């Protein structure tokens, strides 16, 4: 889909993904957008990665538990892909086929940014795995909430997961990965994550034409 400004009626059966560093407020924006669409009478399904399914939630625990600090980058990538395959098959595709709007926190782009640019794994390998895990399904609209890595880490609380424990250099690489991966993609939009929550939500509504 070529995504400039789209009308609310066009959102039925569309897949919208929020991407970005940890601590950017993706889950909050998923919730606010879902509420707005429901008020417009548009049926919505919300989800997240890793997770979204029974298998995905078990994988989420494996991936994010801080004690699993010996997990290899490749193991991390493959676990994300298993979760994504289940998520796509069980949640995303059925909902889209029913004409629902699916809103997810994270999808394909996160693997390129985190495991590719952040961990240093081969980008072509990740792209190939993404194609298989998603049956070539991509987001119709990607909303990248962008903040400096320093700002992201400043928002970090005391209770963090295994990936959120990473240092500034890692988060800088991941941020650069997000920005470079969407360069030239007309369906992707960069949002200034330093704005207030209501202003980000307003910008999302403008992009979607609602």
43-95 per-position pLDDT tens digit: 999 999 999 999 999 999 999 999 999 999 999 999 999 999 999 999 999 99
Mean pLDDT of 153-171: 95
Q: Return the structure tokens found at 48.
A: 């997240």
CA distance 146 to 20: 6
pTM of the model as a whole? 0.93
CA distance 148 to 202: 21
Domain boundaries, the chain: 8-208
Mean pLDDT of 119-147: 98
Mean pLDDT of the chain: 94
CA distance 35 to 143: 17
Q: What is the pLDDT of residue 7?
A: 43
Q: Return the structure tokens found at 36.
A: 């707005």
Q: What is the pLDDT of residue 4?
A: 42
For the sheet containing 141-146, what is the strand order?
Answer: 44-48, 101-105, 15-20, 141-146, 188-192
Q: CATH for 8-208, among 3.40.50.300, 3.30.1490.20, 3.40.50.720, 3.40.190.10?
A: 3.40.50.300
Percent helix, percent strand, percent coil in the chain, to nearest 5:
50, 15, 35
Which residue(s) pair with 102 in the sheet?
15, 45
Mean pLDDT of 109-135: 98
């Amino acid at each position: 889909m070529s995504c400039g400004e789209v009308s609310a009626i066009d959102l039925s059966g569309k897949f919208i993904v929020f991407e970005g560093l940890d601590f950017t407020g993706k889950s909050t924006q998923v919730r606010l957008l879902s509420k707005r669409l429901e008020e417009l009478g548009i049926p919505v399904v919300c989800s997240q990665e890793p997770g979204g399914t029974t298998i995905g939630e078990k994988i989420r625990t494996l991936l994010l538990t801080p004690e699993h600090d010996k997990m290899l980058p490749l193991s991390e990538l493959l676990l994300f892909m298993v979760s994504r395959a289940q998520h796509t098959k069980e949640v995303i595709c059925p909902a889209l086929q029913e004409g629902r709007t699916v809103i997810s926190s994270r999808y394909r782009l996160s693997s390129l940014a985190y495991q590719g640019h952040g961990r240093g794994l081969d980008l072509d390998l990740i792209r190939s795995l993404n194609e298989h895990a998603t049956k070539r399904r991509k987001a119709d609209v990607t909303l990248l909430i962008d903040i400096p890595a320093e700002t992201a880490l400043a928002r970090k609380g005391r209770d963090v997961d295994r990936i959120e424990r990473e240092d500034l250099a890692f988060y800088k690489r991941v941020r650069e990965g997000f920005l470079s991966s969407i360069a030239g993609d007309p369906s992707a939009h960069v949002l200034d994550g330093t704005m207030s929550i209501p202003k980000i939500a307003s910008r999302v509504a403008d992009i979607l034409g609602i």
